Structure 1
Amino acid sequence: MTGRRSRSRPGGTTSVPSLLAVFAHPDDESLLAGGVLARHAAAGARTAVVTTTWAPDSHRAPELADALRILGAGGPRMLGYADARVPGSAPGRARLLDAPQDEVVARLVRHVREVRPDVVVTHDGYGQLTGHPDHVRTHRATLTAVHAAGLEHLHPEAGEPWLPSAVYLATHPHSGAGELGALLRSVGKTVRSVPDEHVTATVDVRPWLERKWSAITAHRSEAERERPLPGILSRLPAETRDRILATEWYTRLAVRPTPGDDDALTA
């Protein structure tokens, strides 16, 4: 994955892009971007993950902490909203779907400005293959927050402005969704993939596959259940599972303008 290079490393050396991933649920980070997170962390890049649902005092918080430690992505950053389908995930808190958009965006802006990432990674517009409503809401709030983070008069209480170079949407192309799609359909889930031409970055994460799988299985409560994806994958032969997890796909959205770019509106 490419992006504006960090200039924060000592000795004047050029580093790989720093990453901030924003996903809806604990385990999304490992399933959808675990390879890329592990790869960038291993190369010395700053990596961090924001999770928009589940409370920091829930049983899934320590599982998330273990997964992030395996991936080298820092500690949990949990917004603490309730999962749309699990009210007990954040007792007394609003569901992410019911929270005011400005509130969610402002909280995400704070993390963008604190981490100051070169690249932000989040869900695609479908909310991944299953179209989970929390994924879709997280996608929309993240895109708004990335732009807002670069504007000094928006959310000034959240810190100094910072504009990442690009957003990468974790996705699945039609050609890469077949085997996983069949598994999801077998437990009654929908499958929504994108045309292959929408994919701008195809990442072979086989060198980090062991770490990625360890992070996925760190979400123990999901791996023990039948319908969640960690549980589905846990029941597969290792060869099949590795084949499904070995590639990650992304759609790049440029955020920072490039001087000299043609403007189609004035051409």
Structure 2
Amino acid sequence: MTQPTAAPSLLGVFAHPDDESLLAGGVLAQHAAAGARTAVVTATWTADSHRAPELAEALKILGADAPRLLGYADARNPASAPGGAVRLVDAPLDDAVGSLVAHIREVRPDIVIGHDALGQLTGHPDHRRAHQITLLAVEAAGLPHLYPDAGEPWQPAALYTATHSESGVGLLGPLLQSVGKTLLATPDAYVTTTVDVSPWAAVKWEAICAHSSEVARERPLPGLLARLPEAERHEIIRTESFTRLSLGPTPGDPHRLIA
């Protein structure tokens, strides 16, 4: 009898608390329910900020490990770092990459999930910076000569970047435009994986609501979603789209440079 394939372990790397729930909450909940280890690294908002306990509650709801915070400040919110930490967008690149490499090597995930190159639909600078750091860190994590003090090397099999296609924006587009936000969708061809997370939509929404300070505000997406009729909200959160990026050596890869 063929044994069922175990669900791959996941490590999400996101810029802010709530990004994990909004962009990949369904996939995180799905994998946790299948018995896989899931964890999330959050680049901004420090442990002594008011959003840290909200993040902890959201991850608990999703079945993920305790929060892992890089401890940088949000580019647009000084309250994100009461102790005066440097902003993520101003942090030395090598320091930020090394910090993330340490988490990758400790968790040893099969798959890393992060932001896309556009920084999602609104192009937030923290999202874009987190994408750049993640690209470098997932490759560096497998190379023993890079960041040798950050733990034993570990190479994830793939990086999936959460994204929104031009044809898949749907109700989310008008919702964001209603508060003056931009729409930076990716071409449809860039989306390699779309997951129907309807069975976990209720858990995903509960995790989003755990970020109560964002739900209470008018312009952030959790607040916008909270004011929608349930059917419209479900339509927006029931699918999650990603672009798969292969990592590490691929023996026999037919798509290689001509030597």
Scaled to the shorter chain, the TM-score interval is over 0.9
Does residue 122 (structure 1) correspond to residue 117 (structure 2)? The answer is: no
The partner residue of 1:65 within 51, 56, 66 is 56
Contact (CA 8 Å) 2:139, 2:248: kept in 1 or not?
A: no
Residue in structure 1 matched with residue 206 of structure 2 by the alignment: 214
CA displacement at 1:206 relative to structure 2: 0.1
The partner residue of 1:224 within 216, 241, 244 is 216
Structure 2 length-normalised TM: 0.97
**AA paired with 1:61?**
A
**AA paired with 1:206?**
S
Does residue 175 (structure 1) correspond to residue 191 (structure 2)? The answer is: no
Does residue 136 (structure 1) correspond to residue 128 (structure 2)? The answer is: yes
Q: CA RMSD in A?
A: 1.1
Residue in structure 1 matched with residue 249 of structure 2 by the alignment: 257
**AA paired with 1:53?**
T
**AA paired with 1:154?**
L
CA displacement at 1:181 relative to structure 2: 1.1
Between the aligned partners of 2:133 and 2:191, the Cα distance in structure 1 is 21
Partner-residue secondary structure (3-state), 2:249: coil
The partner residue of 1:36 within 6, 24, 27 is 27
The partner residue of 1:163 within 152, 155, 164 is 155
Between the aligned partners of 1:252 and 1:13, the Cα distance in structure 2 is 23
CA displacement at 1:263 relative to structure 2: 4.5
CA displacement at 1:13 relative to structure 2: 7.0
Residue in structure 1 matched with residue 13 of structure 2 by the alignment: 22
Residue in structure 2 matched with residue 7 of structure 1 by the alignment: none
Does residue 96 (structure 1) correspond to residue 64 (structure 2)? The answer is: no
Does residue 195 (structure 1) correspond to residue 187 (structure 2)? The answer is: yes
Residue in structure 2 matched with residue 47 of structure 1 by the alignment: 38
Partner-residue secondary structure (3-state), 2:231: helix
Partner-residue secondary structure (3-state), 2:167: helix
List structure 1 runs of 4+ shifted beyond 6 angstroms.
none
Partner-residue secondary structure (3-state), 2:171: helix
Between the aligned partners of 1:87 and 1:99, the Cα distance in structure 2 is 15
Contact (CA 8 Å) 2:170, 2:236: kept in 1 or not?
A: no
The gaps in structure 1 that reach 5 residues or longer are 1-11
**AA paired with 1:144?**
L
**AA paired with 1:199?**
V
**AA paired with 1:75?**
A
Deviations 1:43-86 (A, max 9, x none): 00010000000011111000000000000111010111110000
Between the aligned partners of 1:221 and 1:258, the Cα distance in structure 2 is 45
Structure 1 length-normalised TM: 0.94
Between the aligned partners of 2:211 and 2:85, the Cα distance in structure 1 is 22
Percentage of matched positions with identical amino acids: 67
Between the aligned partners of 2:253 and 2:108, the Cα distance in structure 1 is 24
